[in-house]
Structure 1
């Protein structure tokens, strides 16, 4: 079975919908119009009957010998003016005193619907068949001056006349409905033709296939890809681009303004010239951007942007550098203990047993105390590795590195990685090593605790401190107060970036005798630190 074309589907759907709506509205308006006409005629009949029943002339005529002689001319004149089919005035026995057909005067009223007016004195609308046919009637009792019911007034409009009026109004509505149907046919044809032109003659299934292929290609590449139209509205974006730019959820039909720095895209939109390998920093990532314009027949209709992350490479280099540093620190620790073993060996060979024993006891006591804190109170392996490396480096540099005996932390949450801890603790402690390098009695103290909602690390040094004018620039990338040929000014910046990734903060207290760096890392990630 062949596929139904888009044009045929649109025509069939719009025509069916239009026909259904027109039919529904016509039926509804016909019903409401008919009901309105019937109600209006009923109310008119009732109001006329009331008015006639209150006329003094009509009431006084009942006391005359020939009431019909007075009543008939009056009501006939009213009937002709109002267009009522009949106006009948009768006495309590239902004998007519007036009628459009004079021959019916004096005869009993027909229909049997006057009882409520004559007996109960009610005013009401009824429908009954009389001598002239089925009619809509308004019934009103006639009271004399004493309040007694002396007769009844019946004003009627033939149902046949009401229906004729309804059919006349319906015919007008049908003409309007037919015109609307013809207009919908023409509009449907033009709409189908326009849509087919917009889709370049492609059928929906062909468009779907093209979209699936494009979507598969878009999400299979490793680079982030984003396309926008000439107004800067996003038309497509793959998952890699969302990940690089830190965007969640659907972004279709959103403006790029505010989602990320989009000046490169607008430059290409305005100039029509492509831009390649431009750097931008966004959410602590360095991203390489290349933008290519999309042209239509007249001008630039959009831009395709390709994103690649530079930060990942930099982070990998930093991690390798840190691992190399700790490898060297462990080597230094090994070298330090090798030297001590040589000294111990020399003492034993010279027979200086007492000094050898004192040296062993001293080393053992110091090592036992430090190891007891590191291995029994610091439960996290990552922190243990960093502290052991720094203890070895401190020993080699002849710096007293004390771990507060009150320190205690359990195993850290999984979201805190070794690479992040290396950047944070490694750079802060290294900064402390450099700060105390020119001090006579260099001392660094380390404290850690996980009591409460945060994990807290504190590093105290008795170095020269930090100049007041440098405090506000301490964590800026590239800033350093030191001199030398090697690149400096990245350690504390990297530490600050790692802390912010974990949603924490770093506090610095610059005292006269000590400088204190305190790191607060939340146990659960709640957002970026400030």
Structure 2
């Protein structure tokens, strides 16, 4: 059971609801208590100031001043104090002389007696405001002020209001405040209930420990599989991605970033924009060929986003190209073996029939016409990887009835430092040229490859005898999926060659699109591809 659970058997959303309601009740209760205290204090002060004002008006009455000087008990002073008390609603109006002897009091029997609460402060000439005291009557809020004749204090006036009056006034205000507090409490409880309902909907009713387990499982799955995973929401912002996706795509993919701002393959952007399921879509990312699958995610017919998965097919393509080269060489050798066997059979037949002269002439003809399938490269290209690649492509061309030759000005005396990059660029350019030459109208169909070393930089040129690049394709020839081949799955070779070259700081471009009289010319520059030392 989670340690954070206050009530192990109670759902977390209900705990949150109760906690929120408790907080609202506590805040409202404290607020009412604070308001009550402030109201009581304020009203006590107001009643005290009211009592002081009444006392000052009585102390300024000449009749009261004269009576206090004469120490006259009862009589006009009593009448005057009772009239003021009745008119103002005060609990009492008491007049004393300078010896604290009552001269007027609501209870006649108290006249002539000393006051029950000290009047020394008032007789000293100071006002006493809002003193809560209990004398001969009930607990009251009272104020006192001196009676002066000139500069001499001759007595004091004390006026008080019943505390119950203050309490009743406070209670009425508290009752009114409680109505608003109750409304605030109901509003807070309702808001808490709505928030609780929203929380259940957002979390799909899952408990925190279940959400934690889902998070751990998601992280384990995302970072444990060998495929790249990238998820975007309905606004095409990245919501989920794993490290493998960043590695395969060759770029940083921050969560929350708009997909349109990321440097991804146009095919990936198109797959997400269309929102349709995509299976085994080939895309280029850097030097890699990726297989992309895309699925739109929906819940209750509401689109939530798209999930893409990426698989690396680079190694497979490399092996496939190498296998194609080996197969081409094998097919060429097998064709040579069959041709050589046929010639031997012919020569054997001539000798068996006794046609010695004809056999010698036939043998002389074979000696003069028979050449190796691949012309020797001599000292033009010293690197064994480049030699093997050119021999394989030559055999492939001859098998299809075409000619592949090395330009006379080719010169590569040093070794290649990255055979994979060289094979990617040169192999794809040659394959593209062979296809163009075979589809062209000129015969014999041919391809010329030029290799020239410039320090550690290798310059490559590939020209074909085809019909040139059509005008609509010239500006987008290196985009993924753009191809003159009708069969699906093509359009990656040139894009992959350019990516591989640019990854090394070089480039591949169409130097001459060609026309009806000459084929296309592709040129590549590959810096730091050569070692600078002869092998």
Structure-2 change in CA distance of 1:57 and 1:216 (3 Å): closer
Pairing 1:54-453 to 2, within 5 Å after superposition: 57-59=60-62, 61-64=64-67, 65=70, 66=72, 69=75, 72=78, 76=82, 78-80=84-86, 82-112=88-118, 114-144=119-149, 146-170=150-174, 195-196=199-200, 202-243=206-247, 244=249, 246-247=251-252, 251=255, 255-260=258-263, 271-275=274-278, 289-308=292-311, 429-430=455-456
The change in CA–CA distance for 1:47 and 1:477 in structure 2 (over 3 A counts) is farther
**CA separation in 2, counterparts of 1:428 and 1:124?**
106
TM-score (norm 2): 0.52
- Rate the CA distance shift 1:101–1:233 in 2: closer, same or farther, 3 A: farther
- Asked if structure 2 preserves the Cα contact closer than 8 Å seen for 1:225 and 1:241, the reply is yes
- Does structure 1 conserve the Cα–Cα contact (< 8 Å) formed by 2:21 and 2:192? no
- Offset at residue 49 of structure 1 (A): 1.2
Q: Distance in 1 between matches of 2:166 and 2:198?
A: 48
How far off its partner does 1:131 sit?
1.3
Seen in structure 2, the aligned counterparts of structure 1 residues 25 and 188 have a Cα distance that, compared at 3 Å, is closer
Tell me the distance in 1 between the aligned counterparts of 2:129 and 2:289.
88
* Superimposed CA distance per residue, residues 462-500 of structure 1 (whole angstroms, 9 cap, x where no aligned partner): xxxxxxxxxxxx9654265999999753325x669xxxx
Q: TM-score, normalised by structure 1?
A: 0.52
2:66 counterpart SS class: coil
Corresponding residue of 1:29:
32
Which of 3, 11, 14 lines up with 1:8 in the alignment?
11
- CA deviation after TM superposition for structure 1 residue 295, in Å: 2.3
Q: Does 2:42 align with 1:39?
A: yes
Does structure 1 residue 489 correspond to structure 2 residue 523?
yes
Taking a change above 3 Å as real, the CA distance of residues 192 and 262 of structure 1, as seen in their structure-2 partners, is: farther
What does the per-residue CA deviation read over 1:285-312, in whole Å, with 9 as the maximum and x for residues that have no partner?
Answer: 8866543211233243211122456889
Would you say the 8 A contact 1:225–1:237 is kept in 2? yes
8 A contact 1:11–1:188 mirrored in 2: no
Whole-Å Cα distance in 2 between the matches of residues 267 and 74 of structure 1?
A: 100
From the superposition, tell whether residues 196 and 248 of structure 1 become closer, same or farther in structure 2 (CA, over 3 Å). Answer: closer
Residues of 2 paired with 1:395 and 1:209: CA distance? Answer: 60
Q: Does 2:509 align with 1:478?
A: yes
The residue matched to 1:137 in structure 2 has which SS? strand
| 8 Å Cα contact 1:227-1:237 kept in structure 2 | yes
- Identify if the C-alpha distance between structure 1 residues 83 and 290 changes in structure 2 by more than 3 Å, giving closer, same or farther: farther
> Are the structure 2 counterparts of residues 121 and 228 from structure 1 closer, same or farther at C-alpha, using a change threshold of 3 Å?
same
Paired residues for 1:503-518 under 5 Å: none
Q: Which has the larger radius of gyration?
A: 2
Distance 1:14 1:433 in 2: 73
Cα distance in 2 for residues equivalent to 1:395 and 1:229: 52
The aligned residue for residue 349 of structure 1 is none
Separation of aligned partners in 2, 1:182 and 1:433: 81
* Partner of residue 477, structure 2: none
Q: What displacement does 1:257 show?
A: 4.7
Q: Is 2:47–2:130's contact at 8 Å kept on the other side of the alignment? A: no
What is the alpha-carbon distance in structure 1 between the residues aligned to residue 301 and residue 14 of structure 2? 33
**Is this contact kept in 1: 2:230–2:240, CA < 8 A?**
yes
Instruction: Kindly indicate whether the alpha-carbon contact (under 8 Å) linking 1:427 and 1:491 is maintained by their aligned counterparts in 2.
Output: no
- Aligned mates of 1:228, 1:79 — CA distance in 2: 82
Q: Which residue of 1 aligns with 2:349?
A: none
8 Å CA contact 1:256, 1:262 repeated in 2: no
- State the alpha-carbon separation in 1 of the partners of residues 299 and 185 from structure 2: 38
The 3 A distance-change label for structure 1 pair 20 and 207 is closer
After superposing the two structures, state which structure 1 stretch, 289-298 or 172-181, moved more.
Answer: 172-181
Deviation of 1:119 (Å): 1.5
Aligned to 2:393: none
**2:337 aligned residue:** none
Name the CA distance, whole Å, in 2 between partners of 1:330 and 1:265: 38
Post-superposition Cα deviations, 1:398-457, rounded to whole Å, max 9, x if no partner, equal xxxxxxxxxxxxxxxxxxxx869x99xx976255999xxxxxxxxxxxxxxxxxxxxxxx
- Gap regions ≥5 residues in structure 2: 321-379, 386-409, 423-451, 461-504, 530-535
Aligned counterparts of 2:200 and 2:9: Cα–Cα separation in 1: 8
Which position in structure 2 is the counterpart of 1:341? none
**CA apart distance, 1:220:** 1.7
| 1: CA distance, partners of 2:95 / 2:315 | 104
Q: 1:237 to 1:155 in 2, by over 3 A?
A: farther
Q: Does structure 2 retain, via aligned residues, the 8 Å contact 1:128–1:135?
A: yes
Alignment check: 8 A CA contact 2:128 2:144 kept: yes
* C-alpha spacing 1:280/1:6, structure 2 compared with 1 (3 Å): farther
The corresponding residue for 1:526 is none
Structure 1: where are the runs of 5+ without partners? 318-326, 333-392, 398-417, 435-473, 497-530
**In structure 2, distance between residues paired with 1:432 and 1:190:** 70
Q: Distance in 1 between matches of 2:257 and 2:413?
A: 59
